[in-house]
Amino acid sequence: MQHPKSFQCRFPLSSKLLISSDGTAFKRNHANSGVTAFCLIAALAFVSTGSLVRADFASDWKGSRQWVSPDTWAHPLYGWRTENGKLIASAAPKHLLHQLTHQITDPSKSFSTTTTLQFLSTDVEKPQKISAGFAFGVQGLMDDYRHVLSGTIRSHEAGIRMDGTLFIDNTLTKQKISATEPVTLILAVSGGHATLEAVCGDQKLSVESDLPLESIKGNLALHAHSPSPHSYKRQPIEVAFLKWSGEGPALSDHAEQTFGPILWSQYTLHKRTLKLNVQFAAIGTDDDQHATLTIDGKKLKSQIDPHSRTALFRLEDLDDTDDHPYAVSYRWQGTDYTWEGMVRKQPNGPLRLAAFSCDHGYAFPLSKLVDQVLQENPDIVFFAGDQIYELYGGLFLQRKPLNTAILDYLRKYYQFGWTWRHVLKDRPSIIIPDDHDVFQGNLWGHGGRVAPDGKQEAGGYVMPAAFVNMVQRTQTAHLPDSPDPKPAEQGIGVYFTTFNYSGIPFILLEDRKFKSGPSSVLPKNRRNLSPEDVDVPEAELLGTRQEALLARWADETKDAPARVVLSQTIFCKASTHSGQTLKRSRYDLDCNGWPHTPRNRALKLLANNPATIMVHGDQHFGILLRHGIEQHGDGPLAFMVPGTANGFPRAWWPESGEVTGNHMDRYGNKMTVIAAANPEKGSNTLQPRKTDHPDMTAFKKGSGHGLITIDSAAKTATFDMWRFPLDVPKQFDGFPQTIPLDGK
């Protein structure tokens, strides 16, 4: 934690500080009573102690980097940076720099905040539309300072426009002050009365406004605004902030509410080989580029990758029958930072696997869900994809240039890690990206090629290979080594692999990267095609390399008392309704029910062991079923978990009304449904970013997670499907289910 510098109360140059005979400080001829009150406090402290009072917080910006500091959060990450000790902001809608360690929690009391800023852009049309200053009372639909960072729905703004006008919300000054030089802004709020004073040289100007008390409560931030969204196609309008401080009894002080420079860690342990990946903030080139891992008395160093901002550690021959505490250390700006965790010994009894997918972001930081998972204490966790979504946080997606796109992704992925880091640090995790993680609505990777003309349905990647590899490094670098590591087209890395944990064999499949693009193998007009017409036998699903690995693994594990297959999505079309109106849907080429022939080919390889459990996410609802190949029930079990915060709605509402039992999907794939976790009808109309409480929205939309307890000795698996928690944890109807794994 950085220690704040002293708070300096700045008077206009034309004012004089006077001390009366009784020691009272007052400022003559000052029109701003609110600012005067705070300056009197500072002056009295100076007289009585001989030194200035310390601010509750004060900036200490040094050097040049994209990430600002541990006690602030930039929304968005690409919109704020430090440059030679100054804070540079790119003005655009919703661009805020939040203070993390201090919030306005008692609006009946007073606070003040001060900054000095300068507009760097000069030749701007409509300068009255450009502004910078403070945002306060920044609120969301949840009373959590972290939720507000990307879920802001209301705030007050006070600052200066580029034309020199001061404002508090819609209250403006008629006079103007020079805005071409550095301007010091002092905002003082007391009892609902807000006063903003601006000082530039010997000029001064102020504006006042009365505000409802409860509207003042919330986050405190700097803002830099222009009406145009950030775009690489136009020159950014930039503002420099030279310093920022604040104090007052209205502010709460939570020194522990920092984030960075070490953000979190994620690891796996397979065949006594530890791979531990550490995520860092977007540090600068002048910062230390190495981190240290201390474990079992050993110290390992690793370089921080300049794109993904990750440091990967590898340690061979680590005893997997014992716990191993570890610490990651990093020195930043003269301070040593440490992140600690535990490499768990492999469990001897039943294995508990928790599974998650599809966080649409509106319920960040999922506090109740995380608390429940920590209580469940799973042995291993699986995140099946869509850890982020393109519009996570309400900002426009940035695809170009590459560095901006990377920063756009990292800000969103940082929020995933912030949510789950206390789960990830103490147990192995399998994390894999899906389509939205690489900024695509759907992904048919077509072997890793470039998507023709940027059209995702043709098959291929829309974003450059460097971006895809960066995403994969953040999410998958810690996975056990792939037995077939040759990159796909464009040099895009692969991560499909096999591993054992607690005596249970696992295979991890990439069911997106090699799948054929539908418009490359199907006619444009598919409305009236039959299931036979839609099936393209030569189309790929897993690709030849993964099928070969699957065949070897299936043969080697045919007698295992239990085995697990992990991939992004389920091998059938398990939904009947989809879309914002939840209408009945016909074909969904995104699921692994298509293409039918390679789907069956993969499932036939797994049919040699009835104790096969396939685990997936992606579809935004949950289901437990047994696949059919030649007949109902002759394939593996499949457990698909809902999203942790469902967005695009889907449901399993068969026309017969019979949710369970034998069914056939649109592609002719057989499936025996055991239980389903559907959204509530009507939940597709909820607005969690505007009016409806995010937690209740997540609950009604059928969000949640899955937990599998695999008991190899008893040859059973118990499937829990938990609803998004409100108060008391509750499972979806039809769960839990305990299934024998002996095929009987």
- Token pair for 56: 């509750």
Q: ∠ CA(478), CA(413), CA(387), 5° rounding?
A: 80
* 3-class secondary-structure state, position 169: coil
- Which of 89, 108, 106, 107 is closest to 98 using CA atoms? 89
**Rounded Cα–Cα distance for residues 5 and 247 (Å):** 12
pLDDT score, position 55: 60
Distance between first and last Cα of the chain:
59
pLDDT score, position 497: 98
**Rounded Cα–Cα distance for residues 10 and 472 (Å):** 49
- Token pair for 307: 């794109």
Residue type, 377: N
**Rounded Cα–Cα distance for residues 512 and 347 (Å):** 32
From residue 406, alpha-carbon distances to 319, 357, 474 in Å are 37, 22, 11
From residue 201, alpha-carbon distances to 12, 14, 17, 71, 182 in Å are 8, 10, 18, 30, 9
Parallel/antiparallel/unpaired status of strands 704-711 and 504-508? unpaired
Residues of the chain short of pLDDT 70, as ranges, are 1-55, 744
- Give me the residue label for tokens 């090629």: 449
CB neighbour class for 189 (10 Å; exposed up to 12, middle 13-18, buried from 19) = buried
pLDDT score, position 744: 65
Domains of the chain (ranges; CATH) run 58-253 (2.60.120.200), 260-345 (2.60.40.10), 346-705 (3.60.21.70)
DSSP code string of 199-232? EETTEEEEEEEE--GGGG-EEEEEEEE-SSPP-T
pLDDT score, position 363: 96
Q: Which residues pair with 709 in a beta bridge?
A: 352, 718
Q: Which residues pair with 711 in a beta bridge?
A: 716
H or E stretch at 621: none
CB 498 within 8 A of CB 506: yes
- Token pair for 651: 């449901």
CB 552 within 8 A of CB 606: no
> Any idea how long the chain is?
744
- Which of 428, 406, 422 is closest to 365 using CA atoms? 422
From residue 720, alpha-carbon distances to 274, 371, 704, 730 in Å are 29, 17, 10, 10
pLDDT score, position 670: 97
**Rounded Cα–Cα distance for residues 302 and 290 (Å):** 6
pLDDT score, position 13: 28
**Rounded Cα–Cα distance for residues 43 and 27 (Å):** 10
pLDDT score, position 717: 98
**Rounded Cα–Cα distance for residues 256 and 69 (Å):** 14
- Which of 284, 268, 296, 287 is closest to 330 using CA atoms? 287
pLDDT score, position 589: 94
Residue type, 710: I
